[in-house]
């Protein structure tokens, strides 16, 4: 008999990774719709790992803080490492969401409204509106 007689019947158990690329992780836990969007956000400087700008290949491990700027800033802590895209329920178990709640919409909407027919805002008014909206 050849070498195959000495091989175990089952392959060795695959161990879970201890670290993975940040672009792959933020895509897998559904912070981005596609992995290419996640990588583009990293290259643009919208992703930070433990306070430092992250390139797409930056490695994340359990306990790291990841900050992602999309429409607003999401602050999450890595709770589990995954390299495959998960369902929403499983993805929620891979992170701890520390994102502060958004400001109340009525407060922002009322503060930034202009009188009807007032025309376009001036540069100063536009900056004031942006400041009120938190941009």
- pLDDT digits 0-9 by tens, 12-25: 555 678 899 999 99
SS3 for 27?
A: helix
In a domain, 11, yes or no: no
Per DSSP, 81 falls in state -
Residues 6+ positions from 47 with CB-CB distance below 8 Å: 22, 23, 26, 38, 41, 53, 54, 66, 67, 68, 69
| Of the candidate ranges 55-59, 86-90, 94-98, 106-110, the one whose mean pLDDT is the lowest | 106-110
Euclidean distance between CA atoms 67 and 81, whole angstroms = 16
At 28, phi and psi to the nearest 5?
-65, -35
| Of the candidate ranges 77-81, 95-99, 114-118, the one whose mean pLDDT is the lowest | 114-118
Other Cβ atoms within 10 Å of 39 Cβ, number: 21
The verdict on 80 and 112 lying in the same domain is no
What is the value of pTM for the model shown?
A: 0.68
pLDDT band per the 50, 70, 90 thresholds, residue 111? low
The verdict on 71 and 32 lying in the same domain is yes
The percent of residues in the chain predicted with pLDDT above 90, rounded, is 59
pLDDT confidence of residue 34: 95
In a domain, 83, yes or no: yes
Domain, as residue range, for 120: 103-135
pLDDT confidence of residue 88: 92
The verdict on 77 and 32 lying in the same domain is yes
pLDDT confidence of residue 16: 74
Q: Taking the CA atoms of the chain, what radius of gyration do you get in angstroms? A: 22
In a domain, 109, yes or no: yes
Domain count for the chain: 2
In a domain, 71, yes or no: yes
In a domain, 13, yes or no: no
pLDDT confidence of residue 125: 87
Q: Which helix (H) or strand (E) holds 66?
A: strand 65-69
The verdict on 82 and 112 lying in the same domain is no
């Amino acid at each position: 008999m050849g070498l195959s007689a000495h091989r175990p019947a089952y392959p060795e158990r695959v161990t879970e990774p201890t670290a993975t690329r940040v672009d792959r992780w933020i895509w897998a836990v559904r912070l981005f719709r596609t992995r290419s969007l996640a990588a583009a956000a990293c290259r643009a400087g919208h992703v930070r790992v433990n306070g430092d700008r992250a390139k797409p290949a930056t490695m994340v491990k359990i306990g790291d803080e990841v900050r992602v700027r999309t429409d607003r800033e999401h602050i999450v802590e890595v709770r589990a490492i995954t390299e495959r895209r998960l369902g929403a329920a499983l993805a929620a178990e891979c992170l701890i969401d520390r994102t502060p709640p958004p400001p109340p919409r009525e407060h922002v909407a009322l503060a930034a409204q202009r009188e009807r027919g007032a025309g376009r805002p001036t540069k100063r008014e536009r900056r004031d509106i942006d400041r009120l909206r938190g941009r």
